[in-house]
A = this chain, B = another copy of it.
Amino acid sequence: MIIQLDQQCNASQLSDINTQLSTIGYQGSEIETQFGKYIIAIGKKEFDIRKIGSMAGIKDIHRVSDAYKLVSSKWKVGKTAVKIGDDLLIGNGNFQVMAGPCSIESEEQIESTVAHLVRNGVKIMRGGVYKPRSSPYSFRGLGQDGLKLFYKTCQENNIKIVTEVMQVSQIEPMHDYIDIFQVGARNSQNFNLLDELGKVDKPILLKRAISGTIDELLQAAEYIFSNGNERIMLCERGIRTYEGAYRNTMDLNAIAILKEKSHLPVVADPSHGIGVRKFVPQIALASILAGADGVIVEVHENPEKAFSDGQQTLSYQEAEALYENIKSTLALRKNLV
């Protein structure tokens, strides 16, 4: 059960509510986010919802039987637009493209990419500085120094940055240089990291785990939300299956269903979702018709020379065609009957 509190709900009212919850055998967790105050009440007994609903300090009350609560569309029917920086929105009708290399490699690469994005009206640049790699002997990113270079050029060009955070201790040093913290597939159930990201004032792009269920993704988002941060984007990036003809199985069903189950925006990652450059654009467009609020794609001046993920990275030319086609597809989507 979600109890939405009045912003003015005072300590005495809160205490009364908690007392009442105890009386009916429920345990309440108080939650305060940037945008609201809530109590999540968990219990088993049936009771008359009006008895609590009418108490002072309560704005509204909703039964949500799913394991996830605050990220559910069962209590928040309208879609959420997440603010990125001061001037950008995603969700609830706002679509964003995020593009850039798998890894940040050099200042020249950043400048070239930013120029490409500016030319094409793309507002958010992706690029890894801390790279999770299966092998300890692989390139693990330029780290904090790379991030500062990344920030400098983006800042000058009003391009927002989305980049992966891999552990709690990176949150603070990264904070001032990024616009969106990305949680990668391997950390999708790193609950301590999620807890801490719930306490920051930046939006989170949360990827589905390698074989994560839709429910697990929503519960992972609930970790962030229930720690205080409502600004969450869910990201479908393909799941692991038996099929070996491509890298991952892009799950467009999941996009459709996430959009139904949650009010949060959903971003499609076709680069990882199929993992083969030639097919990334058509999967990107298909994702839009499945319901995505944004796409994140890997783009590089010279994919063959990329430090990582070259085989799924678009060249500038391929990306430019994609940006055009995204516009037409969004126009189509708006006009569907």
> A-side interface residues toward B, CB under 8 Å?
29, 40, 42, 67-69, 132-137, 166-169, 186-187, 189-193, 195, 209-211, 213-216, 219-220, 222-223, 226-227, 239-246, 249-254, 256-257, 260, 273-274, 276, 278-279, 282-283, 285-291, 321, 324-325, 328-329, 332, 335-337
Q: How far is the CB of A292 from chain B (nearest CB, A)?
A: 10
What are the residues of chain B within 8 A of A168 when measuring CB–CB?
A: 167-169
Closest B residue to A247 by CB, please name it. Answer: B253
Closest B residue to A281 by CB, please name it. Answer: B336
Contact B243 A214 (CB under 8 A): yes
Contact B190 A190 (CB under 8 A): yes
Contact A211 B186 (CB under 8 A): no
Per the bound structure, the CA–CA distance linking A214 and B279 in Å amounts to 15
What are the residues of chain B within 8 A of A325 when measuring CB–CB?
A: 336-337
Question: Can you tell how many copies of this chain the complex includes?
Answer: 4
Q: How far is the CB of A79 from chain B (nearest CB, A)?
A: 15
Q: How far is the CB of A336 from chain B (nearest CB, A)?
A: 5
| Known A252-B252, A257-B245, A289-B289; contact A328-B335, beta-carbon cutoff 8 A | yes
Partner of A286, one of B136, B191, B260, B286: B286
Contact A133 B191 (CB under 8 A): yes
Closest B residue to A29 by CB, please name it. Answer: B137
Contact A282 B256 (CB under 8 A): yes
Contact B243 A239 (CB under 8 A): yes
